[in-house]
Amino acid sequence: MNRVKSHSLGAALLIFLMVGQALLSMRVKSLTNDEVPYIPAGYSYIKTWDFRLNPEHPPLAKILAALPLLWLKPPPVIPLDSPEWRQWNEWRFGQMFFEMNRNRIDEITFLARIPIVLIAAVLGWMVYRWASDLYGARAGLFSLFILAFEPNILAHARLVTTDMVITLFLFLSMYRLWVYARNPGAVNFFLAAAAFSLAQASKFSALILVVIFGALLCGIYMARFKEAGKDTGIRGWSAAMPRAFLSAAAAMCVILALTGAVMFVAYGCRIEDPASRAAFSADTEQYIARTQNPLKKTGYEALKLLHVPYGYYLDGLRRLMLHFRLGQDTYALGRVTKRGVWYYFPLAMLIKVPIPLLFLSGLGILFLIGRWRSGELWFLLFPVALIFGLSMRSSIQIGIRHVLTVFPFLAVMAGAASDRWLFEKGRARRVLLLLLAIWMVASTLRIFPDYLAYFNEFVGGPKNGYLYLVDSNLDWGQDLKLLKAYMERKNLPRINLFYFGTIEPGLYGIDYETPTWRSHESPPSGVYAISTTWLYTEKFGDRRYDYFRAQQPHDSVGYSIFIYRVP
C-alpha cells in the first residue's frame, strides 16, 4: 500500500471514530436548551418558507438539521394554527411541537442531529486537508487526531445548534482564501466567496469574516502588485498600496453581492408573503413606537420595506445587538455578573480544553511565529486572535461554544508542531508525543458520553466543573434521559426536580414535582434533583438553594444534575 493511500485510510478511520463517538453518545442525551426552538423552527422554514421563528440566527443550520424530518412517515405535527405561531413565540412553539410529537421525540431528535454530525465529519476532513497542504500528510493526521478526540468538538458535533455549522464554514472560508492567495484565479476566488456566503447564512458571528477577508485581501493584492513592480523597497509598497486597497474593495463588493444572492436563497427566494409580512410589520411597529431616535425609526421603516429575505436577516441582527447591549448573566469562579468578565473565555479555554491540546497549541503558535515570513500565520493565527479578542469584550458569555470556531485552527497548528517539533526531533520527543496522545484519548474516553461537561485535570475534572463555569459549559438540559434511568435504577417513582432546560421533563417519562418553601426554611423531605446552573447562579435571586449549597450532593447525573436527600 502506498503512502498516500495509507494516509487517506488513516484519515477516514479517524473521521469514523469521531462520528462513532458522536452517534453513540447522542442517543443517551436529551434535548438541550437551544435545540427545543431550533428543530421546530427549521422544520417550519421548510414546510412554510416563513422565517418568523428564531430570527436571531440565519436559517442555514436549522434548515440542514430539519431536512431528515421530511422522510418521517407520518410527518411530524406542527402547530401552525397556534397563538405561539402568530405571536412569533419560538420557545413556547418549540415546546408545543415536542408535546404534540411526544411519542417520537427520540426519533425526531436523532434524525435532526445527523446533519450536524456530518458537518463535523466534513470539518475533520478539511482540517486534515489544510494541515496536509501546509505541512504534509503526517501533520494532517496529527491535526485530525486532535480534532477527533477533542471533547468540546465532540459535544457540539451532535447538537442542533449553529455552533458546529459556523465552525465549518468559517474554517472553510479561511482555507479557500489561503488557496486563492497561493493560486489566484476566478475559480478559487469564487470558492472562497461561496464559503464566505455560507458562513454568513449560518450565524451572525460570521460577520467577523468581513474584517478578516478585507484585511487579508489587501495584503494579498499588495504583495502581488509589489512583486509585479520594479521597486522592491518601501517605495514599492507605497506604490502598491492604493491599487491593493481598490482591488480589495472591489473583491469585497463581489463577495458581498454573492452573499446577498445566497441569503436570498437561504431565506426561500421569496419577495413577499402577505401573511408573514403582516406579522413582521406588526412586530416592527412596536419598535417604531418605542424609539425616539429618528434614524432608528427610518431604519425600522426600511426593514418593513425590505422584509423577506433581508428584513428577517436585518431584524435578527438588530435583536442580537439588543441582546449584546442588555447583556446576560455570566457565572465564572463562583461569581455572577450581568455583562461578562474579560477573563471568561481565557478561563474556559484553560480548564475545558485537554491539557495536551493546550501544550501542543502553544507549541504550534510558536512554530507559526517562527515562520511568519511564510504567510500562513495570517490565515491561521490572525482569525484566532481576532475571534478570541472580541469574545473577551462580549457581554454574552455563556459557554466555550462561542469560541468553538478557533478549535480547528488550533488543531492545525498543534498538528504542525507535533510533526515538526516532536515527531521529527528524535526518539525522546516521539515518546513525549505518544504520551500526550494517550493522555488526550484517555481523558476524552473517560468522559464519554458526557462531553459537554468536560473539564480538564487542572481543576480535578468534570466533578468540580460547577465551581468554575456552568450553563452550556456543563449543564444545558442534556441529562433528562440519564435522570430517568437513575430513577429506575434507584426505584424512585417520583422526584423533586429543579431543571435548567426548556423541554418538559414529563415528555421523557419523569414523574416530578417542584415544591415551594421559604428561603429561611428547610425544604420538604424527599429526593431532589437540581441542575447545577440553578444551584450556583442564584437565577432570579432565588435563595432557596442556599440549603443545598451547604450540603454535599449524594449523587450526580451526567455531572449536570445533583441529587440530594432531605430527611
Domain boundaries, given as residue ranges, for the chain: 471-566
User: Judging by DSSP bridges, how do beta strands 555-557 and 335-337 pair with one another?
Assistant: unpaired
Please tell me the predicted confidence (pLDDT) of residue 310.
Answer: 67
Residue with cell 428584513: 311
The answer, yes or no, to whether residue 559 has pLDDT greater than 80, is yes
> Do residues 414 and 363 touch, judged by C-beta distance below 8 A?
yes
Cα–Cα distance measured from residue 299 to residue 55, given in angstroms and rounded to the nearest whole number: 17
Q: 208: which 3 cell numbers? A: 467577523
> Do residues 173 and 199 touch, judged by C-beta distance below 8 A?
yes
Please tell me the predicted confidence (pLDDT) of residue 226.
Answer: 65
Q: Give the Cβ contact number of residue 246 at 10 Å.
A: 12
- How many whole angstroms from its chain centre is CA 536? 24
Cα–Cα distance measured from residue 17 to residue 193, given in angstroms and rounded to the nearest whole number: 32
Cβ neighbors of 437 (< 8 A, separation 6 or more) are: 145, 356
Cα–Cα distance measured from residue 543 to residue 528, given in angstroms and rounded to the nearest whole number: 16
Cβ neighbors of 525 (< 8 A, separation 6 or more) are: 566, 567
Residue 492 — φ and ψ, nearest 5°? -110, 100
The answer, yes or no, to whether residue 188 has pLDDT greater than 60, is yes
Cα–Cα distance measured from residue 255 to residue 282, given in angstroms and rounded to the nearest whole number: 33
Cα–Cα distance measured from residue 566 to residue 411, given in angstroms and rounded to the nearest whole number: 47
Please tell me the predicted confidence (pLDDT) of residue 144.
Answer: 98
> Do residues 473 and 349 touch, judged by C-beta distance below 8 A?
no
> Do residues 481 and 508 touch, judged by C-beta distance below 8 A?
yes
How confident is the model over 370-389, as a mean pLDDT? Answer: 91
Cα–Cα distance measured from residue 93 to residue 38, given in angstroms and rounded to the nearest whole number: 10
Which pLDDT band, with edges at 50, 70 and 90, does 63 fall under? very high
Which pLDDT band, with edges at 50, 70 and 90, does 536 fall under? confident
Separate counts of helices (H) and strands (E) for the chain: 23, 7
> Do residues 547 and 534 touch, judged by C-beta distance below 8 A?
no
Q: Which of 88, 84, 86 is nearest to 97 (CA)?
A: 84
What type of residue is 9?
Answer: L
Radius of gyration of the chain (CA): 25
> Do residues 167 and 407 touch, judged by C-beta distance below 8 A?
yes
Range picked from 195-209, 242-256, 334-348, 533-547 for highest mean pLDDT: 195-209
Cα–Cα distance measured from residue 245 to residue 217, given in angstroms and rounded to the nearest whole number: 8
Cα–Cα distance measured from residue 268 to residue 49, given in angstroms and rounded to the nearest whole number: 6
Residue 245 — φ and ψ, nearest 5°? -60, -45
Q: 313-317, 371-375, 465-469 — which is least confidently predicted?
A: 313-317
Please tell me the predicted confidence (pLDDT) of residue 302.
Answer: 63
Which pLDDT band, with edges at 50, 70 and 90, does 540 fall under? very low
Which pLDDT band, with edges at 50, 70 and 90, does 301 fall under? low
User: Judging by DSSP bridges, how do beta strands 526-531 and 335-337 pair with one another?
Assistant: unpaired
How confident is the model over 171-185, as a mean pLDDT? Answer: 96
325 burial type by CB count under 10 A (0-12 exposed, 13-18 middle, 19+ buried): exposed
Cα–Cα distance measured from residue 114 to residue 380, given in angstroms and rounded to the nearest whole number: 29
Q: Is the peptide bond before 242 cis (omega within 30 degrees of 0)?
A: no
Continuous segment of H or E residues that includes residue 90: helix 90-100
The answer, yes or no, to whether residue 237 has pLDDT greater than 80, is no
> Do residues 332 and 468 touch, judged by C-beta distance below 8 A?
yes
Q: Name the pTM for this structure.
A: 0.92
How confident is the model over 250-277, as a mean pLDDT? Answer: 81
Q: 176-180, 218-222, 275-279, 369-373 — which is least confidently predicted?
A: 275-279
Q: For the chain, percent helix, then strand, then coil, each to nearest 5?
A: 70, 5, 25
Cα–Cα distance measured from residue 388 to residue 390, given in angstroms and rounded to the nearest whole number: 6
> Do residues 334 and 466 touch, judged by C-beta distance below 8 A?
no
The answer, yes or no, to whether residue 277 has pLDDT greater than 50, is yes
Find the length of the chain. Answer: 567
Which pLDDT band, with edges at 50, 70 and 90, does 230 fall under? low
Which pLDDT band, with edges at 50, 70 and 90, does 274 fall under? low
Please tell me the predicted confidence (pLDDT) of residue 1.
Answer: 55
Q: What separation in angstroms does the CA of 76 have from each of 40, 67, 73, 134, 135?
A: 10, 12, 8, 46, 48
How confident is the model over 492-513, as a mean pLDDT? Answer: 95
> Do residues 161 and 112 touch, judged by C-beta distance below 8 A?
no
Instruction: Return mean pLDDT, the chain.
Output: 89
Cβ neighbors of 100 (< 8 A, separation 6 or more) are: 76, 77, 78, 79
Please tell me the predicted confidence (pLDDT) of residue 475.
Answer: 95
Q: Which of 48, 39, 445, 109 is nearest to 267 (CA)?
A: 48
Please tell me the predicted confidence (pLDDT) of residue 546.
Answer: 83
Q: Which of 76, 115, 73 is nearest to 96 (CA)?
A: 76
Q: 159-173, 280-294, 513-527 — which is least confidently predicted?
A: 280-294
